[in-house]
Every structure is written in C-alpha cells, then in structure tokens.
Amino acid sequence: MYGQHHHSNQPDPGKVNRILLVKPDNLGDVILFTGALKQIRQHYPNARISIVAKKVVHPILGKLPYLDELIPWEPLLKLLPDWVPGFPGKSRLDAWVRRIRMTYFHKKHPADLYLLPVRSTVPLLHQFTELSRARLKYGISGDTNHITTEQDVSYSSIYTHRFRVDESDGIMHEMETTRGFLSLLGIHCTLEDLWPDIRTLDEEAVWAIEMIQVKPDAITLAIAPGVTSIPEKYYAAENYRKALAGLENYQLDVVIFGSNSEAEQCNAVQKSLKNCGTVRSVLNLAGRTTLGQLAEGVKRCDILVSNETGVLHMATALRKPTVGILGGGHFKRFYPWGDPTINLYVNEPMDCYFCNWYCIHDSIRCIHEIEPEKITEQIRKLIQRTEN
C-alpha cells in the first residue's frame, strides 16, 4: 500500500533543528496521532517541535512531553472583522488578509522541516504549506474527500515528499496512513508503536472518583451519543433505551458524556432512559468535563457505547471495552481499531458504503437502521467476558 511522490532522501536528524507540525484536525484524529508524536520526538531528539492545532485539542497535546510549543490554528483563519459590511471584492480582500496572516506566521515560526500529516486536505492547507520557507515539506496525497484528483496532483510541486494513500486493495486505516507518512522520514514502526498516548492530571483522576461512584453490584455503562460533525448521524435516543432494556438480569448505572454542543442529544438519551427497567441511575455529564476529566471518567466505566466520535477513540486508546455505532461514510478508515476482543462495533452494511458522508438517501440509513438488539448483544458479550 505504501507509495510516495518525489525522491526518498530522508532528512538527517542531526541537521533538523526546528520542526513545524500542522495538525488542525478534530479530537478523534488528533488522539489517533498522539503516538506518532513520540516517534517523531525519538527520531529528532534535539529539534524544537512546534505543532499547530485547534484549541480544543490543546489539553490533550499539552500534557505530552514530546512537544516544545503549542500554537492555535484558529487565529490563522481570521478574516475581516464581523462589523465590516459586505462589499464587492470583500472575499478577495478576506483571502488577502488571511494570506498576510499566514505569511507573517511562517516568518515568526521558521522551520527546517514542515510536516502536514493530514490525509483529507483542503486548498487552504496547501496554501499554508506553500507559504512556509522550510527546506523540506512532507504531506499526504491520494485522498480526494475534499478535492479532485486533478487538484491533488497539482499540489505536488509544493512538497518535497508526499506519502500516497493507495486503497486499491482495501481501506487504509488512519494509523496505517500515519505509519506510511513516518516511513518517509526514516521512522519505521509498528502499529503498536503508534498506540495513542493520553495523559491526565492527578486532580482529574480525583474528580472522576468523586463524581462517578462505581458500585460492585452494577455495570457502569458510559454512553457518548453526541454527533457534531454531521448532526444527522445521531442515533435516536429511543434506540439506546431499547438496547439497554434488552439486558435483563443486569443492573446498569449509566454515565452520559458529551460536549456543550452535544447537550441536547445527551439530554434526549437521559430522558429516554427514565423508568427503563435495567437502568438504576443516570449521570449526565454533558458539557461538565474537561478532556482530562473525560478521560478519567471513561476509565471509571466498565463499557462505553458511542457513535464514531473522539470519545470512542479515547476509550479504545485507554484499552476500555467499547461498542462503536458505525456508519458507512468512512467505515474502516477510523474505526474499528484496538483490541478486537473488547473493541466491538455494530453497523448496517449497505451498497453505498464508503461515500465519504455524501449521502444519497433522505436520511443516513446506515446509522438510523442499525437495530438496537445488535447493541444489546455486543454489550452482553462484553459483560459476559468480564464475568468469565
């Protein structure tokens, strides 16, 4: 599956003093990349490594010992102030303002080695790359989720090296893509070497112990029902009730996790579980946790049931039993991964799988038509595994 553009001369670690790593992805993607940061640091022990990432993931990245500088991505996207009224040519002026910001950024943050380990790129990221004065620039090609094949090829001249995603013989998981990207740098590792690295503070663990009371006579079941990327991917609240109601002979203490923006979806699940015979208690923590508290909260639970979200990747990275509710848009690219004996999933295979979430139906059937009984069965498997 591995391939690349251009020659394969690898940078001499002894001659790389400053690395700029650009990873403006969402939580799940960044979690999947944290193990790679350790490999990069080990390969370039003396280099100053700066990473550009969204502010929301800084609490995850900031606890890792592999980075020297965290830089927020959002300020680079700023355009003219909101109070500036619309006028002919405003979009061109906006683009000019953004270009000036990016040019100034690269002047302020010079690098010998520029890394863009983002598979589904957009033209803006290529523009940002082009403005860098780094001698060596590494990227990824072959993914046409947001751009055409012709555009992808046209950007090759910006980079000195690109890892090419080749899926002619199957879907390449995100961590496999990262492994191929690192190989261009002369970093050769196994997927286990890339296992995500999530760290927390002692006070976050204390918070979780106080907040989530684990009882020996019940299963502590976490649910992360929120979906922010495409709201229509939300799995109906009533289906969670049906799934848990099928777990007769078990008592469940349910903990609901989610962000502020997912509170409505989390509240709907909480409401649906009212008077469910197998559910003894419900603790809704939507919008009430930091990322570190979230990680420690997940550790306190026996099993997590979740849409394909950052929380699902976090729990898998923490080696917790999980049941992922998967659709077909990016099936196998991000999930499943982990330990196949405890990281289970449910899905509804359809002919239109691998659509990159450009759905041809009136609703996202590949998620909405997953039978709750499938979830019941997977949870039961995980419970019985712990009992044995």
User: For 152-175, what is each residue's pLDDT tens digit?
Assistant: 999 999 999 999 998 887 899 999
The tens digit of pLDDT for each residue in 325-337 reads 999 999 999 999 9
Half-sphere exposure (Cβ direction) of 63: Cα atoms closer than 13 Å = 17
Query: CATH 3.40.50.2000 occupies which residues in the chain?
Result: 4-194, 202-387
pLDDT at 6: 42
| 3-state class (DSSP) for residue 17 | coil
pLDDT digits (tens, 9 = 90+) for 220-262: 999 999 987 787 899 999 999 999 999 999 999 999 999 999 9
231-234 long-range contacts, CB within 8 A, separation 24+ = 232/359, 232/363, 232/364, 233/307, 233/327, 233/357, 233/364, 233/367, 234/265, 234/307, 234/367
Per-residue tokens: 329: 């848009």
What is the reported pLDDT for 85? 79
H-type alpha helices, the chain? 27-43, 58-61, 90-108, 123-131, 149-154, 174-183, 202-211, 237-245, 263-272, 291-300, 310-317, 365-368, 372-387
The residues that bridge with 114 in the sheet, in sequence order, are 20, 137
pLDDT over 70 for what percent of the chain?
97
8 Å CB contact between 28 and 171: no
* Mean pLDDT of all residues in 205-229: 94
What's this model's pTM, rounded to 2 decimal places? 0.94
**Token pair 């590494």 is at which residue?**
138
- Calculate what percentage of the chain has a pLDDT beyond 90: 85
Token pair for 355: 């659509």
240 and 322 Cβ atoms separated by less than 8 Å: no
CATH topology of domain 4-194: Rossmann fold (3.40.50)
Give residue 9's pLDDT.
Answer: 65
Q: Say which CATH architecture domain 202-387 belongs to.
A: 3-Layer(aba) Sandwich (3.40)
Residue whose C-alpha is closest to residue 262's, from 103, 56, 55, 53: 56
Average pLDDT over the chain, rounded to an integer: 94
Q: Does the pLDDT at position 3 exceed 50? A: no
Which position has the token pair 């893509």?
177
pLDDT, tens only, 356-370: 899 999 999 999 999
Give pLDDT, residue 227. Answer: 87
Nearest to 226 by CA among 187, 185, 186, 267: 267
Q: Both tokens of residue 126?
A: 């290529």
The per-residue pLDDT for range 256-296, each reduced to its tens digit, is 999 999 999 999 999 999 999 999 999 999 999 999 999 99
